[in-house]
Protein backbone atom coordinates (compact mmCIF):
# COMPACT_ATOMS: atom_id res chain seq x y z
CA UNK A 1 0.00 0.00 0.00
CA UNK A 2 1.23 3.52 -0.74
CA UNK A 3 0.89 6.44 1.69
CA UNK A 4 -2.40 7.58 0.17
CA UNK A 5 -3.94 4.13 0.49
CA UNK A 6 -2.74 3.78 4.09
CA UNK A 7 -4.34 7.16 5.00
CA UNK A 8 -7.63 5.94 3.56
CA UNK A 9 -7.38 2.56 5.30
CA UNK A 10 -6.76 4.26 8.68
CA UNK A 11 -9.91 6.41 8.20
CA UNK A 12 -11.96 3.36 7.25
CA UNK A 13 -10.71 1.46 10.30
CA UNK A 14 -11.80 4.43 12.47
CA UNK A 15 -15.32 4.32 11.12
CA UNK A 16 -15.44 0.57 11.55
CA UNK A 17 -14.14 0.86 15.11
CA UNK A 18 -17.13 3.14 15.91
CA UNK A 19 -19.76 1.16 14.02
CA UNK A 20 -18.73 -2.11 15.70
CA UNK A 21 -18.91 -0.51 19.15
CA UNK A 22 -15.21 -0.88 20.00
CA UNK A 23 -15.04 2.83 20.96
CA UNK A 24 -17.42 5.74 21.47
CA UNK A 25 -16.79 9.38 20.67
CA UNK A 26 -13.24 10.36 19.78
CA UNK A 27 -11.49 7.82 22.00
CA UNK A 28 -9.09 5.20 20.77
CA UNK A 29 -6.44 5.61 18.08
CA UNK A 30 -5.18 3.84 14.99
CA UNK A 31 -1.80 3.82 13.30
CA UNK A 32 -0.06 2.07 10.43
CA UNK A 33 3.59 1.74 9.51
CA UNK A 34 4.68 3.53 6.35
CA UNK A 35 8.34 2.42 6.33
CA UNK A 36 11.23 1.88 8.75
CA UNK A 37 11.09 5.55 9.85
CA UNK A 38 7.49 6.69 9.59
CA UNK A 39 4.00 5.84 10.72
CA UNK A 40 0.61 7.39 10.03
CA UNK A 41 -1.60 7.93 13.09
CA UNK A 42 -5.02 9.39 13.82
CA UNK A 43 -4.96 13.00 15.08
CA UNK A 44 -5.76 13.83 18.69
CA UNK A 45 -9.44 14.24 19.66
CA UNK A 46 -11.05 14.22 16.22
CA UNK A 47 -14.37 12.62 15.35
CA UNK A 48 -13.89 9.47 13.25
CA UNK A 49 -17.04 10.30 11.30
CA UNK A 50 -15.57 13.50 9.85
CA UNK A 51 -11.93 12.38 9.63
CA UNK A 52 -10.41 12.75 6.15
CA UNK A 53 -7.40 10.84 4.77
CA UNK A 54 -5.33 14.06 4.72
CA UNK A 55 -5.99 14.52 8.49
CA UNK A 56 -4.00 11.39 9.36
CA UNK A 57 -0.65 12.55 10.77
CA UNK A 58 2.73 11.39 9.42
CA UNK A 59 5.10 10.88 12.38
CA UNK A 60 8.76 9.91 12.60
CA UNK A 61 8.88 6.84 14.89
CA UNK A 62 12.38 7.71 16.16
CA UNK A 63 12.08 11.38 17.17
CA UNK A 64 8.25 11.73 17.10
CA UNK A 65 8.44 14.81 14.88
CA UNK A 66 5.31 15.18 12.76
CA UNK A 67 4.18 16.88 9.60
CA UNK A 68 1.29 19.32 9.25
CA UNK A 69 -0.79 21.33 11.69
CA UNK A 70 -2.87 18.59 13.32
CA UNK A 71 -1.47 17.12 16.53
CA UNK A 72 -1.05 13.33 16.45
CA UNK A 73 -2.82 11.11 19.02
CA UNK A 74 -1.77 11.43 22.66
CA UNK A 75 -0.63 7.80 22.50
CA UNK A 76 1.84 8.50 19.68
CA UNK A 77 4.87 7.53 21.87
CA UNK A 78 3.36 4.07 22.48
CA UNK A 79 2.58 3.44 18.80
CA UNK A 80 6.06 4.61 17.77
CA UNK A 81 7.74 2.39 20.39
CA UNK A 82 5.81 -0.65 19.12
CA UNK A 83 7.04 -0.06 15.54
CA UNK A 84 10.63 0.39 16.78
CA UNK A 85 10.53 -2.77 18.93
CA UNK A 86 8.48 -4.99 16.61
CA UNK A 87 9.68 -4.93 12.99
CA UNK A 88 6.97 -7.38 11.84
CA UNK A 89 4.13 -5.19 13.10
CA UNK A 90 2.53 -2.81 10.60
CA UNK A 91 -0.63 -1.64 12.39
CA UNK A 92 -1.68 -0.78 15.95
CA UNK A 93 -5.23 -0.12 17.14
CA UNK A 94 -6.18 1.04 20.62
CA UNK A 95 -9.85 0.75 21.60
CA UNK A 96 -11.98 1.12 24.73
CA UNK A 97 -14.10 -1.98 24.09
CA UNK A 98 -16.34 -2.81 27.07
CA UNK A 99 -15.33 -6.31 28.14
CA UNK A 100 -11.63 -5.64 27.66
CA UNK A 101 -12.14 -2.53 29.82
CA UNK A 102 -13.79 -4.67 32.52
CA UNK A 103 -10.67 -6.82 32.59
CA UNK A 104 -8.53 -3.64 32.58
CA UNK A 105 -10.44 -2.26 35.57
CA UNK A 106 -10.01 -5.53 37.50
CA UNK A 107 -6.31 -5.95 36.52
CA UNK A 108 -7.02 -9.57 35.51
CA UNK A 109 -4.68 -11.27 33.06
CA UNK A 110 -6.67 -13.48 30.67
CA UNK A 111 -5.03 -16.90 30.50
CA UNK A 112 -4.80 -18.70 27.15
CA UNK A 113 -8.35 -20.10 26.96
CA UNK A 114 -9.49 -20.03 23.31
CA UNK A 115 -7.97 -21.21 20.03
CA UNK A 116 -8.57 -17.95 18.11
CA UNK A 117 -7.21 -15.93 21.02
CA UNK A 118 -3.92 -17.81 21.22
CA UNK A 119 -3.55 -17.92 17.44
CA UNK A 120 -3.65 -14.17 17.03
CA UNK A 121 -2.45 -12.91 20.44
CA UNK A 122 0.19 -15.60 20.98
CA UNK A 123 -0.81 -16.60 24.53
CA UNK A 124 -2.23 -14.97 27.63
CA UNK A 125 -3.49 -11.40 27.44
CA UNK A 126 -1.42 -9.54 30.00
CA UNK A 127 -2.26 -6.35 31.88
CA UNK A 128 0.34 -3.54 31.86
CA UNK A 129 0.60 -1.59 35.15
CA UNK A 130 -1.28 1.67 35.29
CA UNK A 131 0.33 4.86 34.01
CA UNK A 132 -1.21 8.09 32.75
CA UNK A 133 -1.94 8.22 28.99
CA UNK A 134 0.90 9.56 26.87
CA UNK A 135 3.63 9.01 29.50
CA UNK A 136 7.01 7.25 29.22
CA UNK A 137 5.90 4.88 32.00
CA UNK A 138 2.87 3.79 29.99
CA UNK A 139 5.12 3.01 27.02
CA UNK A 140 7.59 1.09 29.19
CA UNK A 141 4.94 -1.05 30.96
CA UNK A 142 3.05 -1.80 27.75
CA UNK A 143 6.15 -2.79 25.74
CA UNK A 144 7.27 -5.08 28.56
CA UNK A 145 3.91 -6.93 28.65
CA UNK A 146 3.71 -7.12 24.85
CA UNK A 147 6.74 -9.39 24.65
CA UNK A 148 5.76 -12.37 22.49
CA UNK A 149 2.17 -11.09 22.24
CA UNK A 150 0.09 -9.16 19.73
CA UNK A 151 -2.12 -7.47 22.32
CA UNK A 152 -1.94 -6.01 25.81
CA UNK A 153 -4.45 -4.50 28.21
CA UNK A 154 -3.55 -1.12 29.69
CA UNK A 155 -4.70 -1.21 33.34
CA UNK A 156 -7.82 0.88 34.06
CA UNK A 157 -7.89 1.92 30.42
CA UNK A 158 -8.27 -0.55 27.53
CA UNK A 159 -6.62 -2.84 24.98
CA UNK A 160 -3.83 -2.16 22.47
CA UNK A 161 -3.94 -4.55 19.50
CA UNK A 162 -1.23 -5.28 16.93
CA UNK A 163 -1.23 -6.80 13.48
CA UNK A 164 0.81 -7.30 10.32
CA UNK A 165 -1.87 -5.24 8.56
CA UNK A 166 -4.69 -2.89 9.60
CA UNK A 167 -7.13 -5.68 8.85
CA UNK A 168 -5.26 -8.10 11.09
CA UNK A 169 -4.98 -5.54 13.93
CA UNK A 170 -8.73 -5.03 13.64
CA UNK A 171 -9.33 -8.77 13.99
CA UNK A 172 -7.00 -8.74 17.02
CA UNK A 173 -9.29 -6.08 18.59
CA UNK A 174 -12.36 -8.21 17.98
CA UNK A 175 -10.73 -11.40 19.29
CA UNK A 176 -9.46 -9.56 22.40
CA UNK A 177 -12.97 -8.29 23.09
CA UNK A 178 -14.45 -11.76 22.61
CA UNK A 179 -11.81 -13.41 24.82
CA UNK A 180 -12.53 -10.88 27.59
CA UNK A 181 -16.25 -11.58 27.34
CA UNK A 182 -15.78 -15.35 27.42
CA UNK A 183 -13.29 -15.09 30.30
CA UNK A 184 -15.81 -13.08 32.36
CA UNK A 185 -18.79 -15.30 31.48
CA UNK A 186 -16.86 -18.52 32.15
CA UNK A 187 -16.63 -17.47 35.81
CA UNK A 188 -20.33 -18.39 36.07
CA UNK A 189 -19.46 -21.95 35.06
CA UNK A 190 -16.60 -22.32 37.49
CA UNK A 191 -13.88 -20.56 35.46
CA UNK A 192 -12.25 -21.06 32.06
CA UNK A 193 -9.86 -23.97 31.52
CA UNK A 194 -6.39 -23.01 30.34
CA UNK A 195 -4.85 -24.40 27.16
CA UNK A 196 -1.51 -26.26 27.38
CA UNK A 197 1.60 -24.18 26.61
CA UNK A 198 2.70 -26.49 23.76
CA UNK A 199 -0.73 -26.20 22.11
CA UNK A 200 -0.61 -22.41 22.46
CA UNK A 201 2.81 -22.26 20.80
CA UNK A 202 1.66 -24.56 17.98
CA UNK A 203 -1.50 -22.55 17.31
CA UNK A 204 0.29 -19.20 17.20
CA UNK A 205 2.97 -20.53 14.85
CA UNK A 206 0.29 -22.01 12.63
CA UNK A 207 -1.49 -18.65 12.46
CA UNK A 208 1.68 -16.71 11.65
CA UNK A 209 2.82 -19.11 8.95
CA UNK A 210 -0.36 -20.24 7.26
CA UNK A 211 -0.58 -17.23 4.97
CA UNK A 212 2.92 -17.84 3.66
CA UNK A 213 2.05 -21.27 2.28
CA UNK A 214 0.83 -22.16 -1.13
- Considering the candidates 5, 75, 168, 209, report the single residue annotated as catalytic: 75
Burial of 86 (0-12, 13-18, 19+ CB in 10 A): middle
Q: Nearest Cα to 56, choosing from 29, 83, 81?
A: 29
d(Cα 110, Cα 57) in Å, to the nearest integer? 33
Question: Can 75 be counted among the known catalytic residues?
Answer: yes
Q: At what angle do helices 136-145 and 76-85 cross, to 10 degrees?
A: 40
d(Cα 75, Cα 89) in Å, to the nearest integer? 17
DSSP code at position 110: B
Alpha helices in the chain (DSSP H): 3-19, 76-85, 98-106, 115-121, 136-145, 166-186, 197-210
Strand locations in 17-87 (E): 29-33, 38-41, 57-60
Task: Tell me how far CA of residue 8 lies from CA of 14, 166, 205, in angstroms.
Answer: 10, 11, 31
Q: Which residues are catalytic?
A: 75
Amino acid sequence: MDVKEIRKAVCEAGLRMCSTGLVAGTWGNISARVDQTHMLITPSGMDYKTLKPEDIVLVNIHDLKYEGTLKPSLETPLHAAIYRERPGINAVIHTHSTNACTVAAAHKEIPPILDDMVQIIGGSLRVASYALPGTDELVEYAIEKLEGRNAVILANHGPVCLGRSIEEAFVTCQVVEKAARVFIDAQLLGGAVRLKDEDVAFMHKFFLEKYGQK
